[in-house]
Structure 1
Amino acid sequence: MVSKKNAPHFGHENPHTHSQSVEAAVTGPSKATAETILASKGHDVIAVRPTDSIHRVTEVMKEHGIGSVVVKDQNGHMVGILTERDIVRGFADEPDNTFDETAGDLMTTKVVTASPDTPLLELLHRMTEGRFRHIPVLDGDHIAGMISIGDVVKFRLRELEYETLKLKQMIVG
C-alpha cells in the first residue's frame, strides 16, 4: 500500500482538473420550471363549468385523453379541479347517482397550484406530498397550463438522458 506521503504528486491536491470531474459534466439539480415544461407540452387547459354533469365531464376527459379538468365559473375564473380520483370517490359514495351529480358537487375546491417560475423539483414535491397527479399553473389570475406528474417525469427523464450522453462524451473524449 502506498502511503499519501509517498504517493506521486502532480502539483494538485486533486488529481482531476475541474473540466475532468464528474461534477462539471452533470448539470446537478434541474433548473427547469413549470414554464419550461409548459413550453414543451403546450399551454392548453380543458375546462368545464360547475353545472356540467359528471357524465358530461367524463365524456370531455375521454375525448381529450386526460385525467383532470379545471372547473371555471361563468367569468372564467378557476373555482376547482375535478380529477378521475374525485369521480371514483363519487361512485364509491353514491354509486347510483354519480352521473347525475355536477362538477361542482365533486370538484376539489382547495386547489394546490404552481406559478410559471415554480422549479420542477418543487412541482414533484408538491404532487408527492399532496398525493395528487395534476397541478394547474397560474400566472396571476390567468391559467397558464396544467402539468401532470407524467409531464414532470417525462421532462426529467429527458434531462437525465442528456446528462448521461454528456458524461459518455466526456469519457470517450
Structure 2
Amino acid sequence: MKASDIMTQPVITIRHDASLQEAVRLMLSRGISGVPVVDHVGKPLGMLSEGDLLRRAETGTERTRPRWIAFLAGSGTLADEYVHSHSRHVRDLMSTPLISVPQDAPLESVVSMMEEHRIKHVPVMDSGRLAGMITRANLMQALMHFSSGFSGPGPTDADLRQRVLEELKGTPWGDKGYINVIVKYGVVHLQGIVTDARERDALRVAVENIPGVHAVMNRVEWCDMTSGTVIPFPDERLEVPPP
C-alpha cells in the first residue's frame, strides 16, 4: 500500500501569519490534533500540533529549569523556549522543517518515519503541494479495513476472476454460459444475459461475498425466453461494503 491509498483529503491548513487563538479554534472545531502551516500562496512551511502547545505561559506550563541547568543550556536555548511559550503567532510556534512523504511512498516507510520522529501527522506531497494527510487514525482505519480475514498481499485480478468463475460454477443459476466476467483493479464487471431477472441480483451478491472484490459493475441483461426479447437494465456499480 502507498501513502495515497489511505491519506485524508482535502488538507486543513492554517496560515503562518495566523494567531494562536485562530489555530486553537480551528483544531478544536475540526477535531484535529495537528495542522500544516502554509504561506500566503499555500506553500507548506511547517507543522503545528498539540505537542507544540503544551508548554504555554497562559496555562502556567512553560518550561522551568534549575539555575545551573539553565546556565548550561545557554541563553539562546532559553530565548527560543521563551518565544515558544509566550508568542501568539503561529509562525513562532510551528515545528520545522516539515516532515513529509510523496504520494507513492510505501506505507511501511511512512510508519517508520512516524516512529523515528515521534510524530502523529505526516503530510503527503505532490510536486511541492499538499496532497493529503496521514495520521495514526488513518492507519487504524486501514487496519480495520484489511484485518478481517486478510493477511499478506491482496489477490490479483486474475485470481479474483478465477474465484468468481468457481463461485458461479457452484450455483444452479450462475453457470449457464451466458455470463462474461472481467476484473480490473478489483472491480468485477458482469456482462451477459439471464433468463430470470432475479438471477441478476443473485450474481451480484455472489460476487460481493468474494474477499478482495472492491465493487461490482453489473451490466447483465434479462432475456425473455418466450419472446426472445432482451430487456436491458441501467448499468449498476455497487461498492462492496466492508465485512
Q: Same fold (TM over 0.5)?
A: yes
1:69 maps to 35
Q: Deviations along 1:81-127, whole A, 9 cap, x unmatched?
A: 10011111345337xx9575111111011121011111111111110
Q: Is the 8 A contact 1:54 1:99 kept in 2?
A: no
Equivalent position to 1:54, from 5, 11, 20: 20
Letter in 2 for 1:88: L
Runs of 4+ in 1 over 4 A off after TM superposition: 97-100
1:14 maps to none
1:79 maps to 45
CA root-mean-square deviation: 2.7
Equivalent position to 2:95, from 108, 129, 135: 108
2:145 maps to 158
Percent of residue pairs identical: 27
2:6 maps to 37
Greater radius of gyration (CA) = 2
Q: Is the 8 A contact 2:48 2:93 kept in 1?
A: yes
1:23 maps to none
Unpaired runs of 5+ residues, structure 1, are 1-31
Deviation at 1:52, TM superposition (A): 1.1
- 3-state SS of 2:124 partner: strand
Q: d(CA) in 1 for partners of 2:149 and 2:89?
A: 45
- 3-state SS of 1:157 partner: helix
Q: d(CA) in 1 for partners of 2:149 and 2:14?
A: 38
Higher relative contact order (CA 8 A, sep 6+): 1
Unpaired runs of 5+ residues, structure 2, are 64-82, 155-209, 212-243
1:120 maps to 107
TM-score by length of 1: 0.68
